[in-house]
Structure 1
Amino acid sequence: MTSKFRTMAAVLALLSATGALAHELCDPLGEPTLDQVRAATEKYRDVNVALAEGFMRDPGDICETAEIMGQPAERGAMGIHFFRPDLLGITAPPNPRVDGNGTHTDFLQPSVLIYEPQADGSLELVAVENLVFAKAWKEAGHDAPPSFQGVAYDSMVDDPATPLDEAHMFEPHYDRHVWIWRDNPDGVFAQFNPTVSCAHHKGGGHQQHAHR
């Protein structure tokens, strides 16, 4: 085989391997992979970047734990939520609940970032989240909850028969956590993470919306 044909064969082999790799990395549903979401959100590990891009810290400065939401303490915590009002489509503040028309589901630009407070006062990005309002989602023509990577979003609706606010002061909505910045033994799509703690939280509180 001449040098020219050797070069052409090598190029074809490389293209074939690259195509196979691309096929493996490409999600069959046309959704971004977890690695792609991680790459797209790495900049938010610096909370100042998130703030500069329009993310707002939870006004109540609450660090969510499983325990305050009526779950076993060993399930761990979520952390402190930072959100983009425009991506959530928020139309009204808590009165008595946050309402909106958001149906944003793109995890390459999530609408919510979740941070764990550290002992030195800094914040560490642990997860990303998208939240869509159930009424808006239905009005957009959807009969089933949104999903990501084949997993349906969690349905969050308050139960008036309990002292807890299962919908976290929001109107009925769907949400999905993705733990791409902190390993979660309960799964990448679990609501809480047993390796996340609010022990170093020095903000507004831990329990404001545990009760009405």
Structure 2
Amino acid sequence: MKTLKSTIKSFGSLLLLLVVTSCSKEEATAETELEMVSVKAKKETLESQLKKVEKATMRFHSFEQAKKAGYADPYAFNPSIYVPNMGFHYINVGLIDGEFDMEKPEILLYVPNEQGQLKLVGVEYAVPKAISPTPREGFMGDTDHWDDNPNVAGGSWTLHAWVIEENPNGVFAEFNPNVPVSDPSDK
């Protein structure tokens, strides 16, 4: 009888040990997963966000691809004038939804070369003020600056990101002195 009680006690102790151990493993796994998410979040930097934008817009170096994606819709609002130190603006009106998606800029900025071929130089984000009376949270940090632009979608917050053509005034500056003041194809 004592042996049976001893065996039951031992079995109970073993069972308790297994339950405690498995709980500890689950808690440790949850902690590890949280730490991994935290490390991943810390790894994302402004530089990595800008690289994402550059990668997402790489296909738009071909203006034909931009047209296919809706940036050159002849019925959409696309300014026909060349803006000094910015270039031509091609807007995808289907993306103007009031949200900031860094990998889907609402506007692509192009500068023609002397032969008239368009070269992608940057991107611009637009959030209509009718949807958002204040600018959206954009890129991480506080270096991005949204401008109050009355010319886009009846008044919008706009944010330039010079991810293609380097801008000595900063990646988020409104104007880029490296972009010609006048249309190079007009010469």
> Quick check: which one's strand share is greater?
1
What amino acid is the match of 1:200? P
- Say whether 1:125 aligns with 2:115: no
Tell me the SS of whatever aligns to 2:116. coil
Per-residue CA deviation, residues 27-85 of structure 1 (Å, 9 max, x unaligned), is 49xx96101110111000001000011112664421101xxxxxxxxxxx100011111
Partners in 2 of 1:200 and 1:40 — Cα distance? 27
Partners in 1 of 2:53 and 2:152 — Cα distance? 28
Which structure has more RCO (C-alpha within 8 Å, separation ≥ 6)?
1
Give the gaps of 5 or more residues in structure 2: 1-36
Give the gaps of 5 or more residues in structure 1: 1-18, 66-76, 89-101, 139-143, 157-166, 203-212
Note the C-alpha offset of 1:153.
1.2
130, 135, 148: which is aligned to 1:155?
148
Structure 2 residue aligned with 1:26: 44
Structure 2 residue aligned with 1:146: 136
Structure 2 residue aligned with 1:56: 72
Provide the aligned length of Structure 1 versus Structure 2: 144
Tell me the SS of whatever aligns to 2:119. strand
Partners in 1 of 2:39 and 2:57 — Cα distance? 23
Tell me the SS of whatever aligns to 1:189. coil
Conservation of the 8 A alpha-carbon contact between 1:63 and 1:201:
no
Conservation of the 8 A alpha-carbon contact between 1:119 and 1:200:
yes
Conservation of the 8 A alpha-carbon contact between 1:64 and 1:79:
yes
- Runs of 4+ with >3 A deviation: 19-25, 57-60
132, 154, 169: which is aligned to 1:137?
132
What amino acid is the match of 2:122? A
Q: CA RMSD in A?
A: 2.8
Partners in 2 of 1:115 and 1:83 — Cα distance? 11
Note the C-alpha offset of 1:26.
1.3
Tell me the SS of whatever aligns to 2:90. strand
TM-score calculated relative to the size of structure 1: 0.60
TM-score calculated relative to the size of structure 2: 0.67
Conservation of the 8 A alpha-carbon contact between 1:25 and 1:33:
no
Q: Percent identity?
A: 27
108, 111, 119: which is aligned to 1:116?
111
- Say whether 1:182 aligns with 2:182: no
Per-residue CA deviation, residues 63-120 of structure 1 (Å, 9 max, x unaligned), is 101xxxxxxxxxxx100011111112xxxxxxxxxxxxx3031120111100011012
Greater C-alpha Rg: 2
> Quick check: which one's helix share is greater?
2
What amino acid is the match of 1:61? S
52, 72, 82: which is aligned to 1:36?
52
Partners in 2 of 1:169 and 1:34 — Cα distance? 23
